Amino acid sequence: MAKVAYFSYNVAIDPTRKDGMQPFVIPRRKTRQIDVGGVLIGGGAPVSIQSMTSTYTYDVAATVTQIRALAEAGCDIVRVAVPEKKDTDALPAILDQSPIPIVADVHFHFQRALEAVQAGVHKIRLNPGNIQDRKQVDHVIAACRERGIPIRVGVNEGSVVERKDKQLRAAQQAGLDTDRRSHLIRLMVEILEDYMRIFDDNDFHDVVISAKSIDAGMVIDAYRAISERFDLPLHLGVTHAGPPETGRIRSIAALGSLLAMGVGDTIRISYAADPIHEVNDGKELLCSLGMRHRVEPELIACPTCGRIEIDLIKLTADVKQKLIGIKTPIKVAIMGCVVNGPGEAEGADVAIFAGKGKGIIYVQGEQMCTVSEDDMLDALHREVVVLAQRVESGEVQLGQHDVTITPPDPLPRNDGSIPLPTINN
């Protein structure tokens, strides 16, 4: 079995944050480090974001198009399915055109792994629940060692229970009926330990491990358990999480909790949807935890309430679309009233306080102009673009000073609502 290294921590602070803000410091679990086509995993390296193509891999054009879109969105590593030989035959052409490392996802036939290695992929994913023959695993390990290719060993809740040996399955099922959560976690750990003995016998340790479930609490417990038994880097994920509307809750609950504990070295948020959403949400998670610096605007908005006098939801959605393409981490705040808005927008680089028919725009704490409701979107976008240009030219910096916004002090209207004052443009 692989040598065990219990929790030991180092601190990962990203000194390159463009917004100048000091990130939330999370003590990271210390692990071995592997290299996936130039992307380092574990050993204090930044947490990387992974996704998986939803195309048929043998369709080279469609697969490459999706890989490039994922890379542009911020994906670091992408996985492709290779269930058939025509898929591995397509790998050389895909690898030649991919801007990020490729992982071959192998589930049932070890020969696909050997073909993928021969094609030059950057990592192999094996499922010990489906590929159990010792000689076959030895062949894959030998091929990966020769090419310097790491392997991820992933166990999923759906594949840990024995399917062929009826007697063993019955015994496992009896345990599941008694305490499903703890028994499943024990099975996951036991399977990983057994599989790791094969790697240890082959003196091969360029391995990443994972233990996924649909249940967020079980994912947290499973990864805590394996993190205490192995010093290998961990790939975090929630399996078959569902559509983004519900899947992101399951995923962020589990992955966010583990990352905040210092557990996890690479992540994939999985959805039954366009994988671009997986990358976008993965980036937001890491940025929110201070584990990745932003390279585009951050949009915040106040919750809706009875004081709002404009369609704040529509304005927020319109601003979000308008900010696409800007590559400067400006914090943009959209506030629907002058009561709590100024305090909630503290620290925002560009903010708008919208009232009935008009809004006030601030840039780094300075009142800039009052604009009509019809002009809010374009005026706000214009101020963001100008500030981004000033930041990129070095004229001003983000996060180098406190941004304090003094609330307007108008008299209430007859109906009790508070109007926005008019200031000079």
Q: What is the pLDDT of residues 232-275, one digit of tens each?
A: 999 999 988 789 999 999 999 999 999 999 999 999 999 999 99
pLDDT at res. 172: 72
H-run or E-run covering 335: strand 331-335
Residues 157-205 pLDDT 10s: 776 766 677 777 777 777 777 777 888 888 888 889 988 999 999 999 9
Q: Report the C-alpha gap between 421 and 414 in whole angstroms.
A: 15
**What's phi and psi for 289, nearest 5 deg?**
-90, 5
Q: Which fold has domain 298-393?
A: Sulfite Reductase Hemoprotein; domain 1 (3.30.413)
Q: Are 82 and 55 in contact (CB under 8 A)?
A: no
CB 103 within 8 A of CB 131: no
Please state which CATH class domain 9-288 belongs to.
alpha beta
What is the spatial distance between Cα 251 and Cα 269, in angstroms, rounded to a whole number? 6
- Which among 390, 398, 300 is positioned nearest to 349, based on CA atoms? 398
pLDDT at 406: 66
Average the pLDDT over each of 22-26, 45-49, 189-193 and give the range with the smallest value.
22-26
Domain with CATH 3.20.20.20 in the chain: 9-288
Question: How many whole angstroms separate alpha carbon 67 and alpha carbon 72?
Answer: 9
Reported confidence tier of residue 400, pLDDT bands at 50, 70, 90: low
Q: Which range, of 8-12, 115-119, 321-325, averages the lowest pLDDT?
A: 8-12
pTM value is 0.85
Q: Which two tokens stand for residue 310?
A: 């404009």
Distance CA 113, CA 331 (A): 45
Residue ranges matching CATH 3.30.413.10 in the chain: 298-393
Q: Say if residues 120 and 94 touch (Cβ distance below 8 Å).
A: no
